[in-house]
Amino acid sequence: MTVYRAEFPEKLRFLFEPHRYKVLYGGRGGAKSWSVARALLIQAAKAPLRILCARELQSSIAESVHHLLRSQIAEIGLEGFYEVQNSAIHGRNGSEFVFAGLRNNVTKIKSFEGIDRVWVEEAQAVSKGSWEVLIPTIRKEGSEIWITFNPELEADETYRRFVADPPAGAAVVHVNWDDNPWFPETLRREKDELKARDPDAYRNIWEGRCRAALDGAIYARELRVAQVEGRIGRIVYDAARPVHTFFDLGWADSTSIWFAQSIGSEFRLIDYYSNSQLPIQHYIGALQERGYVYGTDWLPHDARARTLATGRSVEEIMLAAGRRVRIVPDLSIYDGINAARTVFNRCWFDEHKCVEGLQGLRRYRYDVDPATGGFSGRPLHDLHSHAADAFRYFAVAAEDDRPGGSARGIRMRGWRT
């Protein structure tokens, strides 16, 4: 028999009971990650289990919980039992821990067979699309989905799905620092300091309450108005009008595409698509698959750069595929944001097809300057910012196409057809 030593906060006893979903959410330092790591290591030592450790994006194993699991193996004295490899952890009884990113990783996620436990860490960032692929994949008898996160917005998919309206069979527990008997002194100092300086941020970061809006959210007001005016809802594709697309290009970063129609004075954002680490041919396929009648594909400036791999630029490849392509004028981010604010009150969004794009817009925010603790003038570049980048290109093209609106001397034909 394997001997181990581990203790858990009282509130987390349920980790050792069977539940289809185990949801741990709350502020920092609540012992969520440590407890889940330990509970899984102990359970997988008692019986052979296949465990998938997932997060929304994982471009390397260093971003996963691999490191945490390894240190917990030592802490609870299971070094003799587990063999830690670079990309997996194996138990002597056949138990196995594997690691993967969820976003746009359908094939890989579906290829994991016979998973007994999934641990989704940092789950506040998990998108609707990812949950919809993951959940049906975990279908083995008795399998469980464990979810840990620090909430941000009430509108976030994970919060809505597992806290606001949890599914049958979910055990949902709110844990904070004061549930953690081993809450470290260094964290206590950080916590008290934030409480004195910024009570709103404190409530979110340490008490695990949702924020009303993200600090520094760039389009907070515009999105609120759109919601109140009913411009985020079901939008019907008008087959008599062309659909224009607006791309932000990336490889490791996502490529993001908005699909828009210009109808009267309205812009209808009817669809959104993003993916990563795929060649441009993939996105051309994604456009064709949707079967819209297309107008112009608007690309950012970097679409002109030739890639080393193909010797051709994205623009050339798209033209060769018979697409009608234009390059968006190269405005500063600042001008782009202003253009977006200007067109925002004419925009209607399909809330289902554009769910990820809207999530990106809600989270588009200014970076915090580490020197001053205030917001810098630069938007944060993160996994959500690509939707906002593509939206800026849309706005720049739309703005410039006002009747007589070639304010910058660039007349863009092809957008309003």
Ligand X SMILES: Nc1ncnc2c1ncn2[C@@H]1O[C@H](COP(=O)(O)OP(=O)(O)O)[C@@H](O)[C@H]1O
What residues line the site for ligand X (CB under 6 A)? 7, 28-35, 180, 182-184
Instruction: Please tell me the distance from the alpha carbon of residue 281 to that of residue 230, in angstroms, as a whole number.
Output: 36
Nearer residue to ligand X within complex by CB, 33 or 277: 33
Binding-site partner at residue 182 among ligand X, Mg ion, none, CB < 5 to 8 Å by type? ligand X
Asked if 32 contacts 24 with a C-beta cutoff of 8 angstroms, the reply is: yes
328/297 Cα distance (integer angstroms): 10
| CB of 68 vs ligand X, minimal distance in Å | 8
Q: How far is the CB of 138 from ligand X (least distance, A)?
A: 22
Nearer to ligand X, 7 or 132 (CB): 7
**Residue 370 interacts with which of Mg ion, ligand X, none, CB < 5 to 8 Å by class:** none
The two three-digit tokens of residue 401, written as one number:
């196409």
> Do the strands 266-276 and 50-55 form a parallel or antiparallel pair, or are they unpaired?
unpaired
Give whichever of 33 and 376 is closer to Mg ion, judged by the CB atom.
33
Q: Which residue has the tokens 């436990």?
A: 117
CA distance 354 to 362: 12
Contact 254, 127 (CB under 8 A): no
For the beta sheet containing 325-327, the strands, ordered from the edge strand earlier in sequence to the opposite edge, are: 232-233, 347-350, 266-276, 254-263, 243-248, 294-299, 325-327
Residues within window 279-338 making contact with Mg ion, judged by CB under 5 A: none
Nearer CB in complex with ligand X: 175/243: 175
Return the H-helix or E-strand segment holding 334: helix 333-344
* Residue 30 or 151 having the CB closest to ligand X: 30
Nearer to Mg ion, 33 or 313 (CB): 33
**CB neighbour burial string for 148-186, b if at least 16 within 10 angstroms, e if fewer:** bbbbbbeebbbbebbbeeeeeebbbbbbbbebbeebeee
Binding mask 19-58 toward Mg ion (x if CB under 5 A, else -) reads --------------x-------------------------
30 binds, among ligand X, Mg ion, none (CB under 5 to 8 A by kind): ligand X
Amino acid at 297: D
Residue 162 touches which member of Mg ion, ligand X, none, C-beta under 5-8 Å by kind: none
Alpha-carbon gap, residue 256 to 298, rounded angstroms:
12
Residue 28 binding: pick among ligand X, Mg ion, none (C-beta 5-8 Å cut-off by kind): ligand X
- Minimum distance of Mg ion from residue 208's CB (angstroms): 11
Closest residue to Mg ion in the complex (CB): 33
Rank residues 30 and 300 by Cβ distance to ligand X and give the closer one: 30
In terms of residues, how long is the chain? 417
Shortest approach of Mg ion to residue 120 CB, angstroms?
A: 12
The 3-state DSSP class for residue 275 equals strand
Residue with tokens 């001397």: 409
CB of 383 to ligand X, least distance (A): 20
Q: How far apart are CA 379 and CA 2, in angstroms?
A: 51
Q: How far apart are CA 297 and CA 197, in angstroms?
A: 47
In terms of CB distance, is 33 or 342 closer to Mg ion?
33
Q: What angle do CA 58, 382, 189 make, to 5 degrees?
A: 90
Taking CB atoms within 8 Å and a gap of at least 24, the contacts of 366-370 are: 366/216, 366/218, 367/216, 368/216
| CB of residue 269 to Mg ion, shortest distance in Å | 35
Q: Cα(first)–Cα(last) distance of the chain, in Å?
A: 74
Contact status, residue 51 vs residue 40, Cβ threshold 8 Å: yes
For Mg ion, give the closer residue by CB, 12 or 397. Answer: 12
Find which of ligand X, Mg ion, none residue 7 binds, CB within 5 to 8 Å per kind: ligand X
Query: Pick from Mg ion, ligand X, none: which does 206 bind, CB < 5 to 8 A by kind?
Result: none
298 token code pair: 């608007």
Minimum CB separation of residue 317 from ligand X in Å reads 44
55 binds, among ligand X, Mg ion, none (CB under 5 to 8 A by kind): none
Q: Which is nearer to ligand X, 72 or 262 (CB)?
A: 72
Q: How far is the CB of 102 from ligand X (least distance, A)?
A: 19
The count of residues interacting with Mg ion (CB under 5 A) is 1
Q: Name the binder of 242 from Mg ion, ligand X, none, CB < 5-8 A by kind.
A: none
User: Of 311, 315, 316, 305, whose CA–CA distance to 247 is shortest?
Assistant: 315
Q: Which residues bind Mg ion (CB under 5 A)?
A: 33
